[in-house]
C-alpha cells in the first residue's frame, strides 16, 4: 500500500507493552552477533552510498565500534525515491497486485522476523543497549503482531456508497498516497521543510513530558511499581515515559520512600545478562545530556533522593535517579530528559493536578492511578494527551492508535486510524441513465 523509501533506522512498527517473562523461555544470546548487512537497501539490493561514505555505529555498553555503516545522502534518497516511484507507476506489477496477496507478503515478513527473533534481538541490544530480555520478549513480538495486524487490513480498507441527490451512483475509494518516506528523528524539522514548501502530508510522533498522577486511594504497591516502570523502561528513553509523577499530598512521603527503595534495587549492567533491568544510554551525547539535567535539578533545588551519577567505569551507564520536592517551573519538570531520572511532584486536589498536568507544550501520554472510577473518568477526560492509561502504563497494541496533542505531534500511527495517514479518499460519481417514459 505504500513504499517506504528511506530510513536511517528501522521504522518503529511496534510499541512497548508491559511484559512479564521467564528467563527459561528466552534463548541464550550471542553477545557478539555477526553483522551481515551494513549497506543501504535500495530497489531490493544492498549497495554502498553513492559517496562511499560510512559512519561508525557504537556499542553503548563499551563505547567500542561495532561496524561501519553506509551513510546515505541526497543522491541515495533520490535513487530510492526513483525506484519506489517506478514500482508504483500505473500498471506496474506492484500496483496491480491483489490486495490479499499484499497481505500475504506482510505475513511472510512477519514469519521471517519471528523465525530470526533471537538474532534480531541480539543486534538490537548490541546497537542500543536495551536489555536482551526486553528486545526478545517485547520488541520483536510486537513487530510481528503489528505486521500481522496490517496484513489483515490489506483487503479490508473499504470505501462507501453514498446516496447523493439525483440520478447518480456515488462511491468512495481509499487509494494510497504513493511514495512515502519514514525518518525516525528530527520530526519538527521535517514538518517545517515539508509543510512550509510544498504541502506534503506529514505525520509526526514527537516528544513528551507525560504526567503520571497517583491519587491517595490508589493501590500503593502497584502504583509504585507501575510508576517505576513508566519512567525507567528502556533506560528512560521512551517518548511517552511517565516523567512527571504527581502524587497526592497525604501519600506523598510513603510513595517517595518506596520509589527510592525500588530505584535502588534496579539492576543496572550488561544488557546481555538476563537479570539486567537497565542497560546503557544509547550514546555519548545522550549520556552527557542526562547528566546535565541531573546537575540542573540539584542546582535548582530539587531533592536528590538516590542515584545521580555514572554507574560503570566504561559505557554510557547512569544510575537510576529519583528527585523529590520537584516544582513545576524547574528545568527537569519542563524539558524532556529522555533518561533514567524520575521527578516526583506533590499535589492536593484533582482540579489542581489536571491544570498542572496540562501546563506543558507536550501532550503525548498520561496516566492516573485510582480505585475510584468517577475520579478516573474526571482526570482522563480533563487531560490533554493522545493516550491516557488508567491503573497501568505503557500498554500498547497494534490495534490502538498512538500519537500526541500539541507539540507532541500530529496524526496517528497504528490501528485503523493509522491507515488514514497513508491514503487519499477519492469520490467517484456515475450518471445512471433513466428509461424514457
Is the model more confident about 181 or about 282? 282
Output DSSP code: residue 399: T
Cα 312 to Cα 319: distance, rounded to the nearest angstrom = 9
pLDDT of 182: 81
pLDDT tens, residue by residue, 39-63: 999 999 999 999 999 999 999 999 9
| Residue 423 DSSP SS3 | strand
In angstroms, the Cα distances linking 303 to 125, 220, 271, 345, 408 are: 33, 22, 30, 11, 28
Cα 327 to Cα 151: distance, rounded to the nearest angstrom = 47
- Written as nine digits, the cell of 92 is 506496474
pLDDT of 199: 59
| Residue 382 DSSP SS3 | helix
Among the listed residues 191, 184, 146, 180, the one whose alpha carbon sits nearest the alpha carbon of residue 409: 191
Beta bridge partners of 342: 322
CA dihedral 254, 312, 137, 237 (to 10 degrees): 70
Is the model more confident about 411 or about 375? 375
Beta bridge partners of 324: 303
Cβ distance 336 to 293 under 8 Å? no
Among the listed residues 131, 61, 394, the one whose alpha carbon sits nearest the alpha carbon of residue 278: 131
Cβ distance 414 to 15 under 8 Å? yes
User: 37-46, 67-76, 404-413: which range is least confident on average?
Assistant: 404-413
pLDDT of 390: 98
Report the mean per-residue pLDDT for the chain. 91
Domain spanning 211-397 has what CATH number? 3.40.309.10
Residue 18 has pLDDT above 50, yes or no: no
pLDDT tens, residue by residue, 174-233: 999 999 888 765 444 555 555 556 557 777 878 999 999 999 999 999 999 999 999 999
Check if CATH label 3.40.605.10 holds for domain 3-203+412-428: yes
Beta bridge partners of 242: none
User: What sign for the dihedral angle of Cα 78, 80, 81, 85?
Assistant: positive
116: CB partners within 8 A, 6+ apart: none
Spell out the domain ranges in the chain.
3-203+412-428, 211-397
Rg (CA), the chain: 24
pLDDT of 410: 87
Q: What's CA 359's distance to the chain center, in Å?
A: 23
Give the catalytic positions in this structure: 205
Cα 381 to Cα 360: distance, rounded to the nearest angstrom = 17
Amino acid at each position: 500500500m505504500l513504499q517506504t523509501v528511506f530510513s536511517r533506522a528501522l521504522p518503529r512498527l511496534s510499541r512497548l507493552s508491559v511484559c512479564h517473562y521467564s528467563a527459561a523461555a528466552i534463548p541464550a544470546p550471542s553477545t557478539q552477533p555477526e553483522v551481515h548487512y551494513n549497506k543501504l537497501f535500495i530497489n531490493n539490493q544492498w549497495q554502498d552510498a553513492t559517496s562511499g561514505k560510512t559512519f561508525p555505529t557504537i556499542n553503548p555498553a563499551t563505547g567500542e565500534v561495532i561496524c561501519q555503516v553506509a551513510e546515505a545522502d541526497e543522491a541515495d534518497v533520490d535513487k530510492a525515491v526513483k525506484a519506489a516511484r517506478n514500482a508504483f507507476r500505473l500498471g506496474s506489477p506492484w500496483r496491480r497486485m491483489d490486495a490479499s496477496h499484499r497481505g500475504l507478503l506482510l505475513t511472510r515478513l512477519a514469519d521471517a522476523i519471528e523465525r530470526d527473533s533471537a538474532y534480531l534481538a541480539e543486534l538490537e541490544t548490541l546497537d542500543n543497549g536495551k536489555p536482551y530480555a526486553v528486545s526478545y520478549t517485547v520488541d520483536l513480538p510486537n513487530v510481528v503482531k503489528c505486521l500481522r495486524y496490517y496484513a489483515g487490513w490489506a483487503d479490508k480498507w473499504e470505501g462507501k456508497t453514498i446516496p447523493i441527490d439525483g440520478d447518480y451512483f456515488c462511491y468512495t475509494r481509499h487509494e494510497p498516497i504513493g511514495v512515502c518516506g519514514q525518518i525516525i528523528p528530527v520530526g519538527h524539522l521535517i514538518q517545517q521543510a515539508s509543510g512550509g514548501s510544498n504541502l506534503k502530508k506529514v505525520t509526526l510522533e514527537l516528544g513528551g513530558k507525560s504526567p503520571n498522577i497517583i491519587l491517595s486511594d490508589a493501590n500503593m504497591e502497584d502504583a509504585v511499581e507501575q510508576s517505576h516502570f513508566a519512567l525507567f523502561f528502556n533506560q528512560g528513553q521512551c517518548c511517552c515515559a511517565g516523567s512527571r509523577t504527581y502524587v497526592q499530598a497525604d501519600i506523598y512521603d510513603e510513595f517517595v520512600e518506596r520509589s527510592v527503595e525500588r530505584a535502588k534495587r534496579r539492576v543496572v549492567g550488561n544488557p546481555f545478562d538476563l537479570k539486567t533491568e537497565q542497560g546503557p544510554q544509547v550514546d555519548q551525547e545522550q549520556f552527557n545530556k542526562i547528566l546535565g539535567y541531573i546537575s540542573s535539578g540539584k542546582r535548582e533545588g530539587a531533592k536528590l533522593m538516590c542515584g545521580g551519577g555514572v554507574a560503570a567505569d566504561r559505557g554510557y551507564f547512569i544510575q537510576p535517579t529519583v528527585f523529590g520536592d520537584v516544582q513545576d517551573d524547574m528545568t527537569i519538570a519542563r524539558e524532556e530528559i529522555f533518561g533514567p531520572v524520575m521527578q516526583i511532584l506533590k499535589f492536593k486536589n484533582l482540579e489542581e493536578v489536571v491544570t498542572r498536568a496540562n501546563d506543558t507544550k507536550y501532550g503525548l501520554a498520561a496516566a492516573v492511578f485510582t480505585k475510584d472510577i468517577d475520579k478516573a473518568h474526571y482526570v482522563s477526560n480533563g487531560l490533554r494527551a493522545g493516550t491516557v492509561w488508567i491503573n497501568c502504563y505503557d500498554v500498547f497494541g497494534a490495534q490502538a492508535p498512538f500519537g500526541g496533542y500539541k507539540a507532541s505531534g500530529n496524526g496517528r500511527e497504528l490501528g485503523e486510524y493509522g491507515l488514514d495517514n497513508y491514503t487519499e479518499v477519492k469520490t467517484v460519481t456515475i450518471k445512471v441513465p433513466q428509461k424514457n417514459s
